[in-house]
Amino acid sequence: MIGGVTPERALARAFAPGRTALVAYLMAGYPDRATSLASIRAAAAAGADLIELGVPYADPLADGPTIVEAAQVALAAEGGFGLAATLSLAAELAEDPGMPPIALMTYLNPMLRYEFPRLAEDAAAAGVGGFIVPDLPPDSPMTARWQQEAVQFGIDTVFLAAPTSTPARLETVAAAATGFIYVVSSVGVTGERGELPPELADLVARVRSWRTSDVPIAVGFGISTPKQAASVADLADGVIVGSAIVRRQGDPAEVGEFVRALARAVHGA
C-alpha cells in the first residue's frame, strides 16, 4: 500500500469477464529500439489485450531459438539492451493512449542486480503491471522478498504451472499467483509447434481445480496460429503467443496483420 491506498492492479484490465484475453509477447529492443516500439504498438492497435515484454537476457532457460536469437541481437546493440532499457521502453509505451497493460518477462539475476525495492518502484513508474519470472519459484524466500516490494505498487507476480507440476506445486502456484496463472502447454522451451498437446485440456482443468480465487488462467508455449489460438481460447481465460510474433517483429506491419488474425480467433472463441 502507498499512503494507505491499495494501488490498482493493471493486469486485471486485460481479462474482461466473458472475453478471452490475447497476450502478445514481444522482445524489447529487437531488432532495434525503434522497430521494437513500432511492432509493440502495432500489436496493441491490432487487438492485443496485454503486452508481455521480454527483457533481453543472456541465459534464458525457458526460451527457444527464436526468442534466444532475438535476445542476443538486442543485447549486442550498442550499450546493450537490458532491464533498465526495457523499463525505459515500457515507460514510453505506457504514455500511448489505449496501450494495454504491460508485463515484463524476465529472469531472477537481472532483478537481483537491479535490487528489488528500486526495481518495484521504477517498474511502477514505467507503467509495468506485472512480472513473469520463470526461475522464481512461488515458495522461495526470494519470492517473498520480491512480492513484499511489488505489492506496494500494485505489481502482480505471475507464476508458471507445467505439465510436470505436482499437485502440491499446482496448489502453491494457484495460491501465490496474482495477475494470472501462466500454464505452460508442453514440456520444453518456448517455440512454435505444429500441434498442441492433447492433454492440454486436462492440465488446464487440473490448474483450475486448485485455484481458490478468480485469478485468470492463460496458456502459452507453442501456440503459433490463429486456429491453435482459437482452440486454446475455448479452454482458458487467456492465450499467450510469443515466438510466432517475435519471428515477425522486424516488420511492424506484418506483426499487426498477424496479431489482428490472432485477436479475431481469440475474441471470437
Q: What is the CATH number of the domain that holds 256?
A: 3.20.20.70
Q: What is the pLDDT of residue 6?
A: 39
DSSP SS3 for 2? strand
- Of 240, 236, 243, 244, whose CA–CA distance to 269 is shortest? 236
Least confident among 60-69, 106-115, 143-152, 217-226: 60-69
Q: Would you say residue 81 lies in a domain?
A: yes
**Are the beta carbons of 22 and 238 closer than 8 angstroms?**
yes
pTM across the whole model: 0.93
Across the range 226-240, mean pLDDT stands at: 96
Check pLDDT > 80 for residue 66.
Answer: yes
Residue 3 lies in a domain: no
**1 within a domain of the structure (yes/no):** no
71 pLDDT exceeds 90? yes
- The count of domains in the chain is 1
Q: How far apart are CA 217 and CA 237, in angstroms?
A: 5
Q: Is residue 244 part of a domain?
A: yes
Q: Read off the amino acid at residue 129.
A: G
18 or 78, which is more confident: 18
Q: The C-alpha cell of 268 is what?
A: 471470437
4 within domain boundaries: no
**pLDDT mean over 211-227:** 91
Would the pLDDT of 62 be above 80? no
Per-residue pLDDT at 191: 46
Residue 237 included in any domain: yes
Q: Quote the crossing angle between the two packed helices 33-45 and 83-94, to the nearest 10°.
A: 40
Please give the residue range of the domain that contains residue 19.
10-267
Q: Which residues have C-beta within 8 Å of that of residue 181, sequence separation ≥ 6?
A: 158, 159, 161, 173, 174, 207, 211, 215, 216, 217, 218
pLDDT in tens, 10-21: 899 999 888 999
Please classify residue 77 by burial: count the beta carbons closer than 10 Å to its beta carbon, then call 0-12 exposed, 13-18 middle and 19+ buried.
Answer: middle
CA distances to 15, 38, 85, 144, 265 from 150, rounded to whole Å, are: 20, 29, 20, 10, 33
pLDDT digits (tens, 9 = 90+) for 158-211: 999 999 899 999 999 999 999 999 999 875 555 455 667 788 999 999 999 988
pLDDT band (50, 70, 90) for residue 2:
very low
Q: Which three cell numbers stand for residue 21?
A: 484475453
For residue 2, being part of any structural domain is answered with no
- Look at phi and psi of residue 125 and say left if phi exceeds 0, alpha if psi is from -120 to 50, else beta: alpha
pLDDT at 269 exceeding the cut of 70: no
Q: How confident is the model at residue 3 (pLDDT cuts 50, 70, 90)?
A: very low
**The pLDDT of residue 190:** 55
Does 28 map to a domain?
yes
Annotated catalytic residues are 52, 63
Convert 183-217 to b/e letters by CB count within 10 Å (16 or more is b). Answer: bbbbeebbbbbeebeeebeebbebbbebbeeebbb
